Structure 1
């Protein structure tokens, strides 16, 4: 550009040599040369700035790449923890986790009852048409039994998917080879609503919803346990929806058979529950709830052919302990099209005092011309934590869980764990048109029996994983024999004879759960 300017200015000078013109040309050439020098300086300065800026950008890229790589490494890192003795593996971003779960409950018991006499004179009986339980009712087993021996894994994946798998080797009276207690997945990405499918126990009541690891007594109250067995209970296939807010909880599920129970057609039932906390303070609260279990279609026990009676329902239970698995109240099989249970719940807490009660009404839709039988049951129980801790109420499950010791057991540090007293009275009535003692039963009668149990218990929570439960139960069973072939062949007491009994049970549970 400079050279072109000089040439343009020199051309007229060559054409006419004029001193004044030469002076002007010289001045312009000086200006052009100064401009050229400035342009050269500007180029040199700009080149240095560009190089500096380029170097800074390169450094920033390198630093950013390192930061991104570090973040990616951190997000893929796995953390390991042992909170409350439970091994948990989790990604640092919280999207994935896996926790090992385990529990063992060893029960020991002494059944204080009258000595057994010959079958012809001692009429005490257990379940209907069950040879293994009939004779045992006269001499229940003193000894020990692993009620639960469970191992499993639970956690979440991709943040919104929750899962649980639990296998159980314990049992009622006799330990089992192993069975699925829970195996389900749950999607939590629907806001307040959670969708679960698999094998689980749909919540059928206030006491049923609490984990057995934190229950006030070794077993649920008999009416609650019986209702739980209708369409809920461990290992039952189901699909359900769960939702809760700060003070409310609702759930509903369709359930089928318990895993391993093979029938011609599975039972289909609905289990629903709603709970509300109308009063809530730091040291006090009140729980209200309702629940229902509706058997829409009982399980078929034979091919569904015209004129056949393939669907039966049966209600029975044990005396709130399972060292001996004998059931002392039992309706026997009832040919039915369905069942409706409706329950009411009431619970409350004031500081370290807690109480709850439930009432259940059960009606069967019996086939044929016989009247539909109705049964009922209720219980009330309460606890007082002597050491001051209180039971924990969780609205996610709408139930009360065990207290946690403020001072875990450690005599050197003055810690003695948490101590809790419990008291419960339950009544389960499985009689319908039972009639008077010494009389034959009418056609519509069901002599399932009436069971009343008063329980006093003491719980010692050494820490968050280990506890002992001691209890004394006073059991009264009033039950009349239906006569005929109600019990095993050759040992059926006369119609109207008393086949129930009064006894006491002394028990101790050792539990370790993580």
Structure 2
């Protein structure tokens, strides 16, 4: 009963966010159509709310000071995921439900003198980790960003790419080995082709900054080919986290790359007496016009005290995507705060392609293979392999519709007594973001 009540709350919150987004999109679109042709429309059409310095556009509600020295923006994102599927052998209650609210975020950004950025993101859809980014960044010196707060550690290309812009509904299997968001201090530098980001991090702000030990994480990238239409991206990352004697519980797990499937097919359970965790990542991506190929290898080495031997877990993925009737994704070396430098942004929807301007939107096809091995050092966590195919439709700049099909195979799965299990899942997503 309590779970049903929480689901209703999340639906209401998500619906409210979505309606606000659609209202802003429709208002700006209709107001523009009434007074301008598609050829003369600006990139971001603004609606006057009748309050000096306040505008509503495709990036949300923005409040500006008279001299434009201070800007405050309210945005958000809503992701609604229906889906279905099955497993062999059958797992009872493998699916939480056939439709889930994946994310329902409220986001606020305060910019001061184009040099200081304060960001706060809150997910109404989760009780466990509602706070996402909660950070302050200084980027007043060209080529340098200094950040403090809760944000992503500089590790893994696919993790650093925003949830709004991932190619598939979920990230590939090796993402379970990646540190993601934690509280700390970081410095990121970037030039014409390179980036270097590093920082010191504790635990996540939601579960306790003092928990999970202390980590040092660094990522370096270089783009030997970089033009408006062609990019070759190379990157490496490393992280070392030490645990104190009172906090040595560590585990890894993964489920197929679809959110509605709630059961992990492979997992290590709790790894006893973990002293430290060393991570290594290598990434490569090549984009030529609308075609992009991307892959990563990620490894995690767990050091343990006493007579227990260490354990090594590893995984990787390779994916390809084709934007059928649009431009390739924009490659960005810089950021306003945090460590998300040298990443690919979202698919670009031109004015003439927008459905609200009489176009058909932009279509993207994608395929991915990923593998994750959680079996080593006496830990029988299993090995999973996923094949995923997807199609994305971008009817406008604030909307994306996604369809993914995943075939997952897990060998040595603890869920079925160490035997093989297969899963076939189809998941869809309606995404609004502003």
Q: Sort the TM-score into its range (normalised by shorter chain).
A: 0.7 to 0.9
**CA separation in 1, counterparts of 2:129 and 2:269?**
27
1:508 alignment partner in structure 2: 428
1:369 alignment partner in structure 2: 307
257-266 vs 241-250, which deviates more? Answer: 257-266
| SS of equivalent residue, structure 2 residue 74 | strand
2:404 alignment partner in structure 1: 471
**CA separation in 2, counterparts of 1:385 and 1:264?**
44
| SS of equivalent residue, structure 2 residue 308 | coil
2:355 alignment partner in structure 1: 410
| SS of equivalent residue, structure 1 residue 510 | strand
Q: Indicate conservation of the 8 Å contact 1:169/1:177, yes or no.
A: no
Q: What does 1:166-245 correspond to in 2, within 5 Å?
A: 166-171=121-126, 176=127, 179-223=130-174, 225-228=175-178, 231-233=179-181, 236-245=182-191
1:145 alignment partner in structure 2: 100
| SS of equivalent residue, structure 1 residue 251 | strand
Corresponding pairs, count: 376
The one of 420, 440, 447 equivalent to 2:380 is 447
Q: Deviations over 1:349-372 (max 9, x none)?
A: 111101110011221111122321
2:317 alignment partner in structure 1: 379
How far the C-alpha of 1:112 sits from its partner, in A, is: 2.2
**CA separation in 2, counterparts of 1:315 and 1:80?**
46
RMSD of equivalent CA atoms: 2.2
Q: Indicate conservation of the 8 Å contact 2:202/2:209, yes or no.
A: no
Q: RCO (CA 8 Å, sep 6+): is it higher in 1 or 2? A: 2
**CA separation in 2, counterparts of 1:349 and 1:262?**
39
The one of 260, 264, 270 equivalent to 1:323 is 260
1:427 alignment partner in structure 2: 371
| SS of equivalent residue, structure 2 residue 202 | strand
Assess, with a 3 A threshold, how the Cα gap between structure 1 residues 499 and 241 changes in structure 2: closer, same or farther. same
**Which structure 2 residue ranges, 5 or more long, are not aligned?**
1-50, 335-340
Q: Indicate conservation of the 8 Å contact 1:232/1:255, yes or no.
A: no
Assess, with a 3 A threshold, how the Cα gap between structure 1 residues 503 and 165 changes in structure 2: closer, same or farther. same
In terms of fraction of residues, the more strand-rich structure is: 2
Assess, with a 3 A threshold, how the Cα gap between structure 1 residues 472 and 265 changes in structure 2: closer, same or farther. closer
Q: Indicate conservation of the 8 Å contact 2:243/2:274, yes or no.
A: no
Q: Which runs of 4+ in 1 moved over 6 A?
A: none
How far the C-alpha of 1:393 sits from its partner, in A, is: 1.1
| SS of equivalent residue, structure 1 residue 239 | strand
Query: Is residue 281 of structure 1 aligned with residue 219 of structure 2?
Result: no
**CA separation in 2, counterparts of 1:372 and 1:110?**
39
Q: Indicate conservation of the 8 Å contact 1:461/1:467, yes or no.
A: yes
Q: Indicate conservation of the 8 Å contact 2:165/2:346, yes or no.
A: yes
How far the C-alpha of 1:115 sits from its partner, in A, is: 6.5
Q: Indicate conservation of the 8 Å contact 2:129/2:207, yes or no.
A: no
**CA separation in 1, counterparts of 2:299 and 2:308?**
19
How far the C-alpha of 1:186 sits from its partner, in A, is: 1.1
1:258 alignment partner in structure 2: 204
Q: Deviations over 1:7-45 (max 9, x none)?
A: xxxxxxxxxxxxxxxxxxxxxxxxxxxxxxxxxxxxxxx
**CA separation in 2, counterparts of 1:291 and 1:253?**
12
In terms of fraction of residues, the more helix-rich structure is: 1
Assess, with a 3 A threshold, how the Cα gap between structure 1 residues 480 and 424 changes in structure 2: closer, same or farther. closer
1:112 alignment partner in structure 2: 86
How far the C-alpha of 1:142 sits from its partner, in A, is: 4.3
Assess, with a 3 A threshold, how the Cα gap between structure 1 residues 241 and 178 changes in structure 2: closer, same or farther. closer
Larger Rg: 1
2:111 alignment partner in structure 1: 156
**Which structure 1 residue ranges, 5 or more long, are not aligned?**
1-76, 117-123, 125-134, 305-309, 433-443, 482-486, 488-492
Q: Indicate conservation of the 8 Å contact 2:265/2:410, yes or no.
A: yes
Assess, with a 3 A threshold, how the Cα gap between structure 1 residues 115 and 227 changes in structure 2: closer, same or farther. closer
Q: Deviations over 1:54-91 (max 9, x none)?
A: xxxxxxxxxxxxxxxxxxxxxxx963333424221222
Q: Deviations over 1:149-191 (max 9, x none)?
A: 00021021244221101110224xxxx3872112111122344
Assess, with a 3 A threshold, how the Cα gap between structure 1 residues 160 and 283 changes in structure 2: closer, same or farther. closer
